[in-house]
Structure 1
Amino acid sequence: MNRTAKRRTLIAASASAALTASLLGATGAYGALNEPAAAAAPDIPVADVQQDLKELQSLAEANGGNRAHGQPGYKASIDFIKGKLDKAGFETKVQEFDEAGGTGYNLIADWPGGSADETVMAGSHLDSVESGPGINDNGSGSAGILEVALAVADAKLEPKKHLRFAWWGAEELGLVGSQHYVDSLGDETKKISTYLNFDMIGSPNAGHFVYDDDAAVQGVFKDYFKEKGIETETSSEVNGRSDHASFAAAGVTVGGTFTGAGDTMTEEQATKWEGKAGEAYDKCYHSECDDISNINEKALDLHTDGIAHAVWQLSS
C-alpha cells in the first residue's frame, strides 16, 4: 500500500473510532455500553437462612421459650447476629432504649464505603411476642437480611450508595425500636434514600405481597418476582403495622415484601400461589407454634433472593 493509500486508511479508521466513541458516550442503548452493568445479586443459600432460624429457635428454647423485648432470648439474638456481622467486616453498634420497664436493643450494621449521603437500608424486627419463639414473625426477615448482608461481605461489594442493615427491638410493642432510631437521626433521615422492610417472609401458606408504597421500589420487586414466574399483589395490610412506617412518617422512601400473617387466603390467591383457600397465611401467627416447623422454605428462599436483588439494584 502506498503512502497516500495508508493516509486515507488511517483517516477512515480515526473517523470510525470517533463515531464509535460518540455513540458510546451518548444516551440510550449505546450510552449504556459506557457504564458497566450492575452486578447481579448472588443466589442466597436457603440452607444458611434455615440454619440461622435454627439458632434463633435454640436461643428461644434456652431462654424461656421466646425472644421478646426485655427477655434474655432477645438480647441473645442480638449478640448472635452481631457476632456474625463483626466477623464479616461490618461496623456494628447496639442502640439501647427503655420501654415498658425493660431495656430494648437495636442492632445497626454498616458496610464500609458508598456515599453516606445516599444510604440504602434493609431492616427487620428481631423480637418475638412472649407466647412463642417467633421464627416466622420475625426470625424469617431477620435471618433473610442477615444472609444478604453476609453475601455483601463475601462479594466485597463496592456499591455507589452506602449500605446499612438493621434489626429492631420492641416492634411487637408498637414499632418502638425503629421509631427510637428514626428520632435519633433527626435531619440525617434525609440521607436515607430507601428503607426496605422485611417482616414475615416464610409464611406456611405463603402469599407474595409487595408493599403498597413507592412505585419505583415496587417495580424492583415486581420485576424480580415476574422473572421467577410469580404473580404478586400490592399489600396495604402492613401499612402502619411494621417498622417501615417509622421511616415513611419521616419522609423516607420505603418498600418491602411480605408473605402474609393472620388473614385468610382467597380462592383466587390459592390458585395462583398454590396455597390453601380459607386458611390463614400463617396459622401460628403470634402463637407458641411459630417455631422452626412453621416455615415455608420455598417462600423463604424466594423472598431472601428478592432482598438480595433489591439491595444490589438500589445501591448500585
Structure 2
Amino acid sequence: MPRTLRALGATLACVAVTTALTGARSAPPTATAAPDIPVAEVRAHLDELAAIAAANGGNRAHGRPGYTASLAYVEEQLAAAGYVTERQPFDYGGTIGYNLLAEWPDARTDEVLMAGAHLDSVGAGAGINDNGSGSAALLATALAVAESGTAPERTLRFAWWGAEELGLIGSRAYVDDLNDLELTAIAGYLNVDMIGSPNAGYFVYDDDPAIETVFTDWFDARGIPTAPATEADGRSDHAPFAAAGVPVGGLFTGAGSVKTAAQAAVWGGTAGRAFDPCYHRACDSTTNINATALDRNTDALAHGVWELAGL
C-alpha cells in the first residue's frame, strides 16, 4: 500500500501509542450526538449499487466490472466530500483487486479509529444485503462526518474491502502490509457486514468489551434487545485486525442461520426461516432489505463512530 494516507496518521515516530479501547477509551466524551441518518440516503446508495450490478453482468464480484464501478462510485462520493482517498491494490489468483481507503483530513491526534465494510458481492448476484447494506451505511456515515464540520479527536479512516467473499483477501492484505507503528496507531476497528437482513436479528460483536458497550448501550436506550454476533465470528473483515491485536467491534443482522422461536419472540420476524433467505443468492436485491434494521444499524454505526472518534 502506498504511504500517502499513512502519513496523515503516522507522525508517531517518537511517540508510541499506548492507549487502547479495551478497558478505558482514551477519546474524550462526544461533544455532540451523532446525527440521525435518513434511511432514504442509505437506500439511495443501495439503488446505485444495484444499478451498477445490473449493468455489469448482475454482480459486483472481485475482478469483475461491477466491482470496479462500485469502487468508483464510492470513491467519487468521498472525494467530493473532502476525503483523501486511496486505492490499495492486491493480487488474488492472478487478478488484481482493490481496497478503497478514505481518511478525513482533520483530526486532533494521530491515533486512528477505522470503520470498514466489504464492497464485493458473490458472483451469483448483486449482493445488496451482503454487503451493499454495510457499504452504503458506511458511506452515509462518512458523508455525515464531512457534513458535521467537526474535527474528531482520533483520525478517522474508512475502508471498503475487496475480495472478502473469497476469504477476507482485501482486509488481510491491508493488515499484513502495516508496519508495527502503523498497526499500533489503530485504536479500534468497527465492521459492518449485512445489516439489513429481511428476517433481521440485532447482533453486536462481543470481541472487545468497550466497543461492544458503545453499541449495546445505543440499542438498550431504544428498547432493542441485542445478542452476540457469534455467526460472524472470524467470518468477516474484522478477523485480520483481531488477529493482529486491534480491538474490534461491529454490527450484524444475520446471514444463513435460522431464526429460532425465542429470537422471533424478541425481535419479530419468522421463526424457522433464515435471517437472510437470499444469502449468497441471486435474489439478494433491493427487495431483500429490511429498512427498519438498515436504519437502526446505520444510526448505531454513526453513534459508534462519533463516540469512539471523539467527534
TM-score relative to the length of structure 2: 0.89
Q: Unpaired runs of 5+ in structure 1?
A: 1-34
Q: Is the 8 A contact 1:86 1:92 kept in 2?
A: yes
- Show CA shifts across 1:20-57 (max 9, x none): xxxxxxxxxxxxxxx88621000001001001000000
Q: How many angstroms apart in 2 are the aligned matches of 1:62 and 1:280? A: 29
Contact 2:108–2:151 at 8 Å: present in 1 too?
no
In structure 1, C-alpha distance between the alignment counterparts of 2:164 and 2:231, rounded to whole Å: 16
Which structure's residues are more often helix, by fraction? 1
Contact 2:117 2:191 in 1 (8 A): yes
Moved more, 113-122 or 244-253: 113-122
Partner of 2:197: 203
Instruction: Kindly report which structure 2 residues correspond to 1:67-78, keeping only aligned pairs within 5 A, or say none.
Output: 67-78=60-71
Aligned residue in 1 for 2:243: 249
Provide the C-alpha distance between the structure 1 equivalents of 2:56 and 2:253, rounded to a whole number of angstroms. Answer: 28
Q: Pick which of 156-165 and 134-143 moved more.
A: 156-165
Q: 2:35 aligns with which of 37, 42, 47?
A: 42
Correspondence for 2:300: 306
**Offset of residue 113 of structure 1:** 2.1
Runs (4+) of structure 1 exceeding 4 A deviation are none
One-letter amino acid matched to 1:285: Y
1:60 pairs with one of 53, 60, 67: 53
- Residue 179 of structure 2 corresponds to residue 186 of structure 1: yes
- Of 278, 284, 287, 1:290 maps to 284
Match of 2:138 among 127, 130, 145: 145
On the 8 A contact 1:133/1:288 being kept in 2, the answer is yes
The corresponding residue for 1:118 is 111
Tell me the distance in 2 between the aligned counterparts of 1:261 and 1:228: 24
Distance (Å, rounded) in 2 between the aligned partners of 1:278 and 1:120: 38
Which secondary structure state, in structure 2, belongs to the residue aligned with residue 292 of structure 1?
Answer: coil
Is the radius of gyration larger for structure 1 or structure 2? Answer: 1
In the alignment, does 2:262 pair up with 1:264?
no
2:84 match: 91
User: Structure 1 144/182 Cα, relative in aligned 2: closer, same or farther at 3 Å?
Assistant: same
**TM-fit CA distance, 1:274:** 1.0
1:107 aligns with 100
Deviation of 1:236 after TM superposition, in Å, equals 1.7
2:116 alignment partner AA: G
Aligned AA (2:268): E
Query: What is the distance in 1 between the residues matched to 2:226 and 2:56?
Result: 38
Tell me how far 1:242 sits from its aligned partner. Answer: 0.2
> Does the 8 Å CA contact 2:113/2:308 hold for their aligned counterparts?
yes
Q: Distance in 1 between matches of 2:187 and 2:63?
A: 32
Q: Of residues 137, 152, 159 in structure 2, which corresponds to 1:166?
A: 159
Deviation at 1:246, TM superposition (A): 0.7
Determine which structure has greater relative contact order: mean sequence separation of CA pairs < 8 Å that are 6+ residues apart, divided by chain length: 2
| Alpha-carbon RMSD | 1.1
Residues 96 and 279 of structure 1: CA distance in aligned 2, closer, same or farther (over 3 Å):
same
Alignment-mate amino acid for residue 90 of structure 2? F
Query: For the Cα contact (< 8 Å) 1:116–1:191, is it kept in 2?
Result: no
1:61–1:37 Cα change, 3 Å: closer
Alpha-carbon distance between aligned partners in 1 of 2:30 and 2:109, rounded to the nearest angstrom: 22
Q: Give unpaired runs (5+ residues) of structure 2.
A: 1-27
CA distance, structure 2, for counterparts of residue 120 and residue 260 of structure 1: 25
TM-superposed CA distance for 1:117, in Å, is 3.2
Change (3 A) 1:249 1:116: farther
Give distance in 2, aligned partners of 1:186 and 1:116.
19
* Distance in 1 (alpha carbons) for counterparts of 2:102 and 2:116: 10
- CA displacement 1:236-261 (0-9 Å, x = unmatched): 21111000001001110000010000
In structure 2, the CA distance between the partners of 1:214 and 1:171, relative to structure 1 (3 Å rule), is same
Alignment correspondent of 1:13: none
User: Residue 83 of structure 2 aligns to which amino acid in structure 1?
Assistant: F
User: Is residue 70 of structure 2 the alignment partner of residue 51 of structure 1?
Assistant: no
Tell me the CA shift for residue 176 of structure 1: 0.3
